[in-house]
Amino acid sequence: MKEASTSEVPLGQNLIKLISNLCFSAFVFSVLIFTVIAITYQPPDPWLESAPALTKLFTQTENATFKNDDSILKTGEDLVASAAISPAISPSNSAITEAMIEKSEKLINDSAASRQLRCEEKVNCSDPRALFAIERFNLRAFKSIVFLEYQPPVNGSKPDECDVSWRFRNKKEKSWRKYRDFRRFKLVFGENCTYKVDHAGGWHSGVNARRFRTRFGNATATRAGKLAPPAVRDEEINDTIPSLGSELSFRKGRYLYYSRGGDYCKGMNHYLWSFLCGLGEAMHLNRTFVMDFSVCLAATYNPSGKDEEGKDFRYYFDFEHLKEVASVVEEGEFLKDWKKWDRGHRRKVPFKKVVSHKVTPMQLKKDKSTIIWRQFDAPEPENYWYRVCEGQAAKYIQRPWHALWKSKRLMNIVTDISGRMDWDFDAVHVVRGEKAQNKELWPHLDSDTSPDMLLEKLKRMVQPWRHLYIATNERFYNYFDKLRSQYKVHLLDDYNELWGNTSEWYNETMNLNNGKPVEFDGYMRVAVDTEVLYRAKTRVETFYNLTMDCKDGVNTC
């Protein structure tokens, strides 16, 4: 018995040791797995989605050709969080509030009491209390916008009317950009000689308060032999192309230059995905990005069904904002200064040619050449710019979505349309076009977006006689007439004077295009439609509310 007990002791110890070794091995293995995940994990893009997710979203075939879609990518003014706006420039710092009005009004009233002023017999637009009444009315009437600053009221067309101009921004647009409205108000006296707003005019009704706009250039001939008005400059837009300055400053610079690749004439979403890859690499390398301002608009956006070259980047995007947040130079200015330097100096500008996207940004980080010149001469899809940001580079290159805003000129049209509906409207996005005709991929879309079905479904989601904006690719204007029996229907074409030959947009874009008129093309239409849609109080979507068909076709939900 004694020998048996002594033999059992080592067995127990061995068992305990075995269990402890297994536990330790499991711990080491779990630590190893966690380490591998931590090293390989790629955080999501702070402005949109992760690079792999977006690549998957936009990739249609194995050669990574982007889909042609009617949708518009959200840009920086839609995506940036409110906290990301610098406190130094945030408009919320100067927003006019009810408390600010009451404080200012009390100071004025105390001052008036000390001087024993009596009631005015008629409306005095220069009386500060008239402006306080208008400010208070606006805060209660237009809750979706932030009021930033007012100009002193001026007389309207009648003795009891005042015209007032103010600057504002929309709460749904997260940028610091400001817009302007001017309206006419009818004022009456309330108790204790206070002013009250009896009636407010519509969008841009206060014409006497409209600020003077600088006009420049001579009148240009139109098709009918008449003269178009001289071009109008919006002083709040400064998208002139900057020069590099002296030859010495050019030589001291560091540039990243992308030659035109297979992205040219692809869909705009493809273009943006590639452009922001190049800009992101330039930021990573701490270099100035050389921009080609010439945009080729893909055939899907053109009624002709053909690609259209020679479009200006500034028609679609805000170059003023871009050059404020990123170091960029226009390609023509860059090439001119490069040639000028090489002609005037024995020592040429040092540059490095990179002929494959497989040369990663990390490998170029320490390169000291003045110019890194990426060339994209390989066949598709190897010649797409965005290939530079794939693979390991995706961990280092963050696409700067915050740098890309839609053109202020387009956004002025968006603001004008929304303002004419007094910022109080609902919207429905009706996708039709080729998708409605393709019964194989979208078997129910055509019938689900028919006028009768639209009216039946909208009755359950939108109150009757509301302003209803319809964002659509349906080309037949009268297609939605049946909805007019229940709603105040608005379509983009109802506002075509905003880009007609007497509009500011027309004159300003013509100035960018060397005096030649610019077409309000398909992409501009979709961009404006989309932005108005974002500002609606109730938003009805085709592939969520109107039909059970999948957005990308059968079995893709």
Domain ranges of the chain: 52-83+247-403, 95-209, 408-546
Cβ-in-10-Å burial (0-12, 13-18, 19+) of 492 comes to: buried
Question: Strand 231-232 vs strand 215-216: parallel, antiparallel, or unpaired?
Answer: antiparallel
Separation between Cα atoms, residue 446 and residue 449, nearest integer Å: 5
C-alpha distances in angstroms, 515 versus 28, 231, 511, 521?
71, 9, 5, 18
Mean pLDDT by 10 residues, the chain (557 residues): 48 69 72 59 38 43 40 68 38 68 70 54 89 95 93 95 95 87 94 88 95 49 40 68 75 94 94 97 97 94 91 96 94 93 86 95 95 95 96 94 94 97 96 94 96 96 97 95 97 97 95 95 95 95 94 88
Task: Tell me what pLDDT residue 404 has.
Answer: 93
Task: Tell me what pLDDT residue 394 has.
Answer: 95
Using an 8 Å Cβ cutoff, are 183 and 117 in contact? no
Separation between Cα atoms, residue 219 and residue 231, nearest integer Å: 8
Selected from 3.40.1130, 1.20.80, 1.10.3470, 3.40.50, the CATH number assigned to the domain covering 408-546 reads 3.40.50
Token code pair at residue 259:
């030659």
Which 8-state DSSP code applies to residue 439? T
Separation between Cα atoms, residue 264 and residue 383, nearest integer Å: 10
Q: What is the pLDDT of residues 348-400, one digit of tens each?
A: 899 999 999 999 999 999 999 999 999 999 999 999 999 999 999 999 999 99
Using an 8 Å Cβ cutoff, are 247 and 341 in contact? yes
pTM for this prediction? 0.81
Task: Tell me what pLDDT residue 485 has.
Answer: 96
* DSSP result, 273-341: HHHHHHHHHHHHTT-EEEE--EEEEPGGG-TTSS-EEEEEHHHHB-HHHHHHHS-EEEHHHHHHHHHHH
Task: Tell me what pLDDT residue 79 has.
Answer: 61
Helix (H, G, I), strand (E, B) or coil at 47: coil
* DSSP result, 155-200: E-SSTTEEEEEEEEEETT--S---EEEEEEEEEEE-GGG-EEEEEE
Q: What phi and psi values does residue 104 have, to the nearest 5 degrees? A: -65, -40
Task: Tell me what pLDDT residue 481 has.
Answer: 97
Residues 6 or more apart whose CB falls under 8 angstroms from that of 376 comprise 258, 259, 260, 261, 262, 357, 382, 383, 384, 385
Token code pair at residue 557:
């939900």
